Protein backbone atom coordinates (compact mmCIF):
# COMPACT_ATOMS: atom_id res chain seq x y z
CA UNK A 1 0.00 0.00 0.00
CA UNK A 2 2.75 2.46 0.94
CA UNK A 3 4.72 1.65 -2.20
CA UNK A 4 1.69 2.47 -4.33
CA UNK A 5 1.24 5.71 -2.42
CA UNK A 6 4.87 6.70 -2.99
CA UNK A 7 4.64 6.13 -6.74
CA UNK A 8 1.58 8.34 -7.05
CA UNK A 9 2.59 11.11 -4.67
CA UNK A 10 3.39 14.37 -6.46
CA UNK A 11 6.33 16.33 -5.17
CA UNK A 12 5.61 20.04 -5.39
CA UNK A 13 7.87 23.04 -5.80
CA UNK A 14 10.54 23.41 -3.16
CA UNK A 15 9.52 26.34 -0.95
CA UNK A 16 13.20 27.20 -0.63
CA UNK A 17 13.41 28.11 -4.34
CA UNK A 18 12.13 31.63 -3.71
CA UNK A 19 14.78 34.12 -2.49
CA UNK A 20 14.44 34.96 1.19
CA UNK A 21 12.60 38.21 1.92
CA UNK A 22 14.79 39.47 4.78
CA UNK A 23 18.52 38.97 5.34
CA UNK A 24 19.97 39.77 8.75
CA UNK A 25 22.36 42.70 8.80
CA UNK A 26 24.34 41.55 11.84
CA UNK A 27 27.36 39.35 11.05
CA UNK A 28 29.30 36.97 13.28
CA UNK A 29 32.82 36.21 12.06
CA UNK A 30 33.57 32.50 12.32
CA UNK A 31 36.81 30.68 11.66
CA UNK A 32 36.50 26.96 11.03
CA UNK A 33 39.74 25.35 9.95
CA UNK A 34 41.06 27.38 7.05
CA UNK A 35 37.66 28.94 6.37
CA UNK A 36 36.62 32.40 7.52
CA UNK A 37 32.97 33.33 7.06
CA UNK A 38 30.51 36.03 8.02
CA UNK A 39 27.31 34.45 9.33
CA UNK A 40 24.15 36.59 9.16
CA UNK A 41 22.03 36.46 12.28
CA UNK A 42 19.52 38.33 14.38
CA UNK A 43 20.62 39.08 17.92
CA UNK A 44 19.22 40.83 20.97
CA UNK A 45 22.67 41.67 22.39
CA UNK A 46 25.87 43.14 21.00
CA UNK A 47 27.92 40.30 19.53
CA UNK A 48 31.35 41.51 20.60
CA UNK A 49 30.66 42.74 24.12
CA UNK A 50 30.57 40.81 27.39
CA UNK A 51 27.17 40.33 29.01
CA UNK A 52 27.37 39.57 32.74
CA UNK A 53 23.95 38.81 34.16
CA UNK A 54 22.77 36.89 31.10
CA UNK A 55 21.89 33.42 32.36
CA UNK A 56 20.01 31.98 29.38
CA UNK A 57 20.76 31.74 25.66
CA UNK A 58 17.89 30.98 23.26
CA UNK A 59 18.88 30.06 19.70
CA UNK A 60 16.08 29.97 17.13
CA UNK A 61 16.44 27.86 13.97
CA UNK A 62 14.36 28.99 11.00
CA UNK A 63 12.43 26.78 8.59
CA UNK A 64 12.71 26.18 4.85
CA UNK A 65 11.85 29.79 3.97
CA UNK A 66 14.95 30.95 5.91
CA UNK A 67 12.94 33.66 7.70
CA UNK A 68 15.19 33.88 10.74
CA UNK A 69 13.59 37.24 11.55
CA UNK A 70 10.23 35.54 12.18
CA UNK A 71 11.44 32.97 14.71
CA UNK A 72 13.64 35.62 16.34
CA UNK A 73 10.63 37.93 16.86
CA UNK A 74 8.43 35.11 18.17
CA UNK A 75 10.98 33.91 20.71
CA UNK A 76 11.93 37.40 21.80
CA UNK A 77 8.30 38.43 22.30
CA UNK A 78 7.83 35.31 24.40
CA UNK A 79 10.86 36.31 26.46
CA UNK A 80 9.44 39.80 26.91
CA UNK A 81 6.15 38.33 28.11
CA UNK A 82 8.07 36.23 30.63
CA UNK A 83 9.87 39.29 31.98
CA UNK A 84 13.26 37.75 31.18
CA UNK A 85 14.60 39.93 28.38
CA UNK A 86 17.45 41.30 30.48
CA UNK A 87 18.69 37.84 31.47
CA UNK A 88 18.21 36.16 28.07
CA UNK A 89 20.23 36.49 24.87
CA UNK A 90 18.24 35.66 21.73
CA UNK A 91 20.08 34.64 18.55
CA UNK A 92 18.63 33.42 15.24
CA UNK A 93 21.31 32.41 12.70
CA UNK A 94 20.39 32.44 9.02
CA UNK A 95 21.37 29.61 6.69
CA UNK A 96 21.11 30.96 3.16
CA UNK A 97 21.21 29.75 -0.44
CA UNK A 98 23.27 31.33 -3.17
CA UNK A 99 20.27 32.94 -4.87
CA UNK A 100 19.39 34.67 -1.58
CA UNK A 101 22.48 36.84 -2.01
CA UNK A 102 21.38 38.33 -5.33
CA UNK A 103 19.77 41.24 -3.48
CA UNK A 104 23.10 42.26 -1.92
CA UNK A 105 25.32 44.58 -3.96
CA UNK A 106 28.56 43.41 -2.38
CA UNK A 107 27.84 40.33 -0.28
CA UNK A 108 30.53 39.55 2.27
CA UNK A 109 31.84 36.03 2.80
CA UNK A 110 28.44 34.60 3.68
CA UNK A 111 28.25 30.77 3.75
CA UNK A 112 25.58 29.22 1.53
CA UNK A 113 23.97 25.79 1.42
CA UNK A 114 22.00 23.80 -1.14
CA UNK A 115 18.73 21.83 -1.04
CA UNK A 116 18.09 22.05 2.69
CA UNK A 117 21.64 20.88 3.34
CA UNK A 118 21.82 22.97 6.52
CA UNK A 119 19.05 20.78 8.00
CA UNK A 120 21.22 17.67 7.58
CA UNK A 121 24.46 19.25 8.83
CA UNK A 122 26.00 19.37 5.35
CA UNK A 123 29.05 21.48 4.66
CA UNK A 124 28.42 24.82 2.98
CA UNK A 125 28.93 25.04 -0.79
CA UNK A 126 31.53 26.99 -2.71
CA UNK A 127 29.50 29.89 -4.20
CA UNK A 128 31.90 30.13 -7.15
CA UNK A 129 31.80 26.39 -7.87
CA UNK A 130 28.47 25.05 -6.70
CA UNK A 131 29.51 21.40 -7.08
CA UNK A 132 32.20 21.74 -4.39
CA UNK A 133 31.74 21.62 -0.64
CA UNK A 134 33.67 23.82 1.76
CA UNK A 135 35.24 21.24 4.04
CA UNK A 136 34.63 21.78 7.75
CA UNK A 137 31.82 24.31 7.25
CA UNK A 138 28.99 22.05 8.43
CA UNK A 139 25.86 23.91 9.52
CA UNK A 140 26.15 22.00 12.82
CA UNK A 141 29.75 23.17 13.29
CA UNK A 142 28.50 26.70 12.61
CA UNK A 143 25.85 26.27 15.32
CA UNK A 144 28.51 25.01 17.71
CA UNK A 145 30.58 28.13 17.07
CA UNK A 146 27.62 30.48 17.52
CA UNK A 147 26.87 28.90 20.88
CA UNK A 148 30.50 28.89 21.98
CA UNK A 149 30.85 32.56 21.05
CA UNK A 150 27.88 33.48 23.23
CA UNK A 151 29.14 31.25 26.04
CA UNK A 152 32.46 33.11 26.07
CA UNK A 153 30.63 36.45 26.28
CA UNK A 154 28.31 35.42 29.12
CA UNK A 155 30.20 34.46 32.30
CA UNK A 156 26.94 33.75 34.19
CA UNK A 157 25.33 31.57 31.50
CA UNK A 158 23.47 28.59 32.97
CA UNK A 159 21.37 27.14 30.18
CA UNK A 160 21.12 27.13 26.40
CA UNK A 161 17.91 26.31 24.54
CA UNK A 162 17.90 25.58 20.81
CA UNK A 163 14.39 25.87 19.35
CA UNK A 164 13.05 25.27 15.86
CA UNK A 165 9.78 24.86 13.97
CA UNK A 166 9.20 22.75 10.84
CA UNK A 167 12.56 22.37 9.04
CA UNK A 168 14.06 24.19 12.01
CA UNK A 169 12.63 21.47 14.25
CA UNK A 170 14.21 18.83 12.02
CA UNK A 171 17.54 20.60 12.39
CA UNK A 172 17.24 20.77 16.17
CA UNK A 173 16.50 17.06 16.46
CA UNK A 174 19.49 15.94 14.38
CA UNK A 175 21.74 18.52 16.00
CA UNK A 176 20.80 17.26 19.48
CA UNK A 177 21.93 13.78 18.45
CA UNK A 178 25.28 14.81 16.98
CA UNK A 179 26.51 18.12 18.42
CA UNK A 180 29.99 18.00 19.92
CA UNK A 181 28.94 20.45 22.62
CA UNK A 182 27.03 17.85 24.65
CA UNK A 183 30.26 16.07 25.45
CA UNK A 184 32.30 19.27 25.81
CA UNK A 185 29.89 20.95 28.23
CA UNK A 186 29.51 17.76 30.24
CA UNK A 187 33.27 17.46 30.67
CA UNK A 188 33.74 21.17 31.45
CA UNK A 189 30.68 21.51 33.71
CA UNK A 190 29.28 23.98 31.18
CA UNK A 191 25.75 25.29 30.63
CA UNK A 192 22.82 22.89 30.31
CA UNK A 193 21.73 22.23 26.73
CA UNK A 194 18.02 21.95 25.97
CA UNK A 195 16.28 21.21 22.67
CA UNK A 196 12.78 22.27 21.61
CA UNK A 197 11.35 21.09 18.29
CA UNK A 198 7.90 21.89 16.96
CA UNK A 199 6.09 20.30 14.01
CA UNK A 200 9.05 18.79 12.14
CA UNK A 201 8.18 16.97 8.92
CA UNK A 202 10.09 13.89 10.03
CA UNK A 203 12.67 12.48 12.41
CA UNK A 204 16.00 10.75 12.71
CA UNK A 205 15.24 7.13 13.67
CA UNK A 206 17.94 5.12 15.42
CA UNK A 207 17.32 1.74 13.79
CA UNK A 208 15.72 0.52 10.58
CA UNK A 209 12.23 0.10 12.01
CA UNK A 210 9.38 2.48 11.27
CA UNK A 211 5.76 2.76 12.45
CA UNK A 212 3.61 -0.01 11.08
CA UNK A 213 1.03 1.23 8.52
CA UNK A 214 -1.98 2.89 10.17
CA UNK A 215 -0.40 2.56 13.63
CA UNK A 216 1.35 4.93 16.03
CA UNK A 217 2.42 2.25 18.52
CA UNK A 218 3.79 -0.68 16.47
CA UNK A 219 7.21 -0.65 14.79
CA UNK A 220 8.72 -3.00 12.25
CA UNK A 221 11.02 -3.18 9.26
CA UNK A 222 9.02 -1.68 6.34
CA UNK A 223 7.69 -4.25 3.90
CA UNK A 224 9.99 -5.16 1.01
CA UNK A 225 7.93 -3.26 -1.56
CA UNK A 226 8.13 -0.07 0.53
CA UNK A 227 11.90 -0.44 0.97
CA UNK A 228 12.27 -0.95 -2.78
CA UNK A 229 10.17 2.13 -3.50
CA UNK A 230 12.12 4.19 -0.96
CA UNK A 231 15.67 2.76 -0.83
CA UNK A 232 17.09 5.72 1.10
CA UNK A 233 14.55 5.62 3.92
CA UNK A 234 17.24 4.84 6.51
CA UNK A 235 19.97 7.09 5.10
CA UNK A 236 21.04 10.15 7.03
CA UNK A 237 19.08 12.29 8.07
CA UNK A 238 16.09 9.91 8.28
CA UNK A 239 18.26 7.12 9.68
CA UNK A 240 21.88 6.46 10.61
CA UNK A 241 23.17 4.95 7.37
CA UNK A 242 25.60 6.78 5.10
CA UNK A 243 26.76 9.44 7.55
CA UNK A 244 29.62 11.67 6.39
CA UNK A 245 31.43 14.76 7.59
CA UNK A 246 30.44 16.31 10.91
CA UNK A 247 27.75 13.73 11.76
CA UNK A 248 30.20 10.81 11.41
CA UNK A 249 32.31 11.74 14.45
CA UNK A 250 30.22 9.44 16.67
CA UNK A 251 29.24 5.85 15.93
CA UNK A 252 25.59 4.86 15.70
CA UNK A 253 25.31 3.70 19.31
CA UNK A 254 26.92 6.89 20.64
CA UNK A 255 24.55 9.05 18.57
CA UNK A 256 21.59 7.08 19.90
CA UNK A 257 22.77 7.38 23.50
CA UNK A 258 23.45 11.11 23.18
CA UNK A 259 19.97 11.79 21.86
CA UNK A 260 18.21 9.60 24.39
CA UNK A 261 20.06 11.35 27.24
CA UNK A 262 19.43 14.87 25.93
CA UNK A 263 16.93 17.31 27.46
CA UNK A 264 14.24 17.42 24.74
CA UNK A 265 10.71 18.69 24.31
CA UNK A 266 8.70 17.78 21.20
CA UNK A 267 5.62 19.94 20.62
CA UNK A 268 3.02 18.96 18.01
CA UNK A 269 -0.02 20.86 16.75
CA UNK A 270 -3.04 18.59 16.67
CA UNK A 271 -4.26 20.29 13.48
CA UNK A 272 -0.94 19.81 11.63
CA UNK A 273 -2.50 16.98 9.65
CA UNK A 274 -2.39 18.16 6.04
CA UNK A 275 -0.71 15.74 3.64
CA UNK A 276 0.81 18.15 1.16
CA UNK A 277 3.23 17.89 -1.72
CA UNK A 278 6.22 19.77 -0.35
CA UNK A 279 9.50 18.08 -1.16
CA UNK A 280 10.20 17.00 2.42
CA UNK A 281 6.85 16.65 4.20
CA UNK A 282 5.59 14.51 1.32
CA UNK A 283 8.77 12.55 0.60
CA UNK A 284 8.71 8.77 0.81
CA UNK A 285 11.13 8.88 3.78
CA UNK A 286 8.71 11.09 5.68
CA UNK A 287 5.63 9.12 4.62
CA UNK A 288 7.16 5.94 6.05
CA UNK A 289 7.04 7.70 9.43
CA UNK A 290 3.33 8.54 9.19
CA UNK A 291 0.75 10.17 6.96
CA UNK A 292 1.13 13.70 8.38
CA UNK A 293 3.27 15.67 10.80
CA UNK A 294 1.06 15.15 13.84
CA UNK A 295 0.85 11.39 13.35
CA UNK A 296 4.63 11.25 12.88
CA UNK A 297 5.17 13.18 16.11
CA UNK A 298 3.03 10.78 18.13
CA UNK A 299 4.71 7.74 16.60
CA UNK A 300 8.21 9.09 17.12
CA UNK A 301 7.57 10.05 20.72
CA UNK A 302 6.26 6.56 21.47
CA UNK A 303 9.30 5.06 19.74
CA UNK A 304 11.73 7.19 21.78
CA UNK A 305 9.85 6.51 25.00
CA UNK A 306 10.26 2.78 24.46
CA UNK A 307 14.00 3.11 23.80
CA UNK A 308 14.47 5.24 26.90
CA UNK A 309 12.39 2.90 29.05
CA UNK A 310 14.43 -0.10 27.90
CA UNK A 311 17.60 1.69 29.03
CA UNK A 312 16.19 3.10 32.25
CA UNK A 313 16.59 6.71 31.08
CA UNK A 314 14.53 9.78 31.88
CA UNK A 315 11.83 10.40 29.29
CA UNK A 316 11.71 13.27 26.83
CA UNK A 317 8.88 15.76 27.05
CA UNK A 318 5.98 15.69 24.63
CA UNK A 319 3.08 18.12 24.39
CA UNK A 320 0.23 18.71 21.99
CA UNK A 321 -1.15 22.15 21.15
CA UNK A 322 -4.86 21.77 20.51
CA UNK A 323 -6.35 23.01 17.24
CA UNK A 324 -3.08 24.53 15.98
CA UNK A 325 -1.65 23.55 12.61
CA UNK A 326 1.65 24.35 10.93
CA UNK A 327 1.97 27.78 12.58
CA UNK A 328 5.36 28.78 13.96
CA UNK A 329 4.17 31.65 16.12
CA UNK A 330 1.37 29.75 17.85
CA UNK A 331 3.54 26.70 18.43
CA UNK A 332 6.60 28.45 19.87
CA UNK A 333 4.53 30.79 22.04
CA UNK A 334 2.23 28.02 23.28
CA UNK A 335 2.08 27.20 26.99
CA UNK A 336 4.29 24.07 26.84
CA UNK A 337 6.92 25.82 24.71
CA UNK A 338 6.92 28.96 26.86
CA UNK A 339 7.23 27.00 30.08
CA UNK A 340 10.02 24.86 28.68
CA UNK A 341 12.01 27.90 27.53
CA UNK A 342 11.32 30.29 30.41
CA UNK A 343 10.00 28.25 33.33
CA UNK A 344 6.63 27.89 35.01
CA UNK A 345 6.50 31.64 35.66
CA UNK A 346 6.67 32.39 31.92
CA UNK A 347 3.65 34.69 32.07
CA UNK A 348 1.74 32.56 29.56
CA UNK A 349 -1.88 33.72 29.11
CA UNK A 350 -4.13 31.17 27.36
CA UNK A 351 -5.57 32.52 24.12
CA UNK A 352 -3.35 35.59 24.14
CA UNK A 353 -2.19 34.97 20.58
CA UNK A 354 -5.16 33.03 19.22
- Tell me how crowded residue 335 is: count the other CB atoms within 10 A of its CB: 15
**H/E run at residue 194:** strand 192-198
Q: What are phi and psi of 282, to 5 degrees?
A: -110, 10
pLDDT of residue 330: 97
Whether 347 maps to a domain, the answer reads: no
Distance in angstroms (rounded) separating the CA atoms of residues 61 and 273: 22
Cα–Cα distance list, 341 to 105, 145, 280 (Å): 38, 21, 27
* DSSP letter for each residue of 133-153: EEEEEEHHHHHHHHHHHHHHH
Total number of domains in the chain? 1
Residue 28 parent element (H or E): strand 26-32
Regions of the chain with pLDDT less than 70: 1-16, 105-106, 130-131, 276-280, 344-354
pTM of the model: 0.93
pLDDT at 41: 98
SS3 24: coil
Residue 277 located in a structural domain: yes
CATH number of the domain within which 106 lies: 3.40.50.1820
Range of the domain at 169: 2-342
Residue 126 lies in a domain: yes
In a domain, 352, yes or no: no
Pairing of strands 192-198, 88-93: unpaired
Q: Is residue 53 part of a domain?
A: yes
Residue 276: CB atoms within 10 A of its CB come to 12
In a domain, 204, yes or no: yes
Provide the pLDDT for residue 92: 98
CB under 8 Å to 352, separation ≥6 — which residues? 81, 333
Amino acid sequence: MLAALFSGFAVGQDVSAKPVEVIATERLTLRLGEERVELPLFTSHELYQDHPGVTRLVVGIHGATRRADVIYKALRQDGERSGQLDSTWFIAPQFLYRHDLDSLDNPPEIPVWRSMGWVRGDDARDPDNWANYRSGLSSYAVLDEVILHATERCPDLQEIAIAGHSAGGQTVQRYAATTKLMQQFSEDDGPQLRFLMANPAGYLYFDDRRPAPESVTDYALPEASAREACPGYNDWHWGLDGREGYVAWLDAEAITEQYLCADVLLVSGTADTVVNSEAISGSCEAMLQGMNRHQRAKSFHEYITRLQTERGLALHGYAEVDSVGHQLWKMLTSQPASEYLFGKDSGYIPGERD
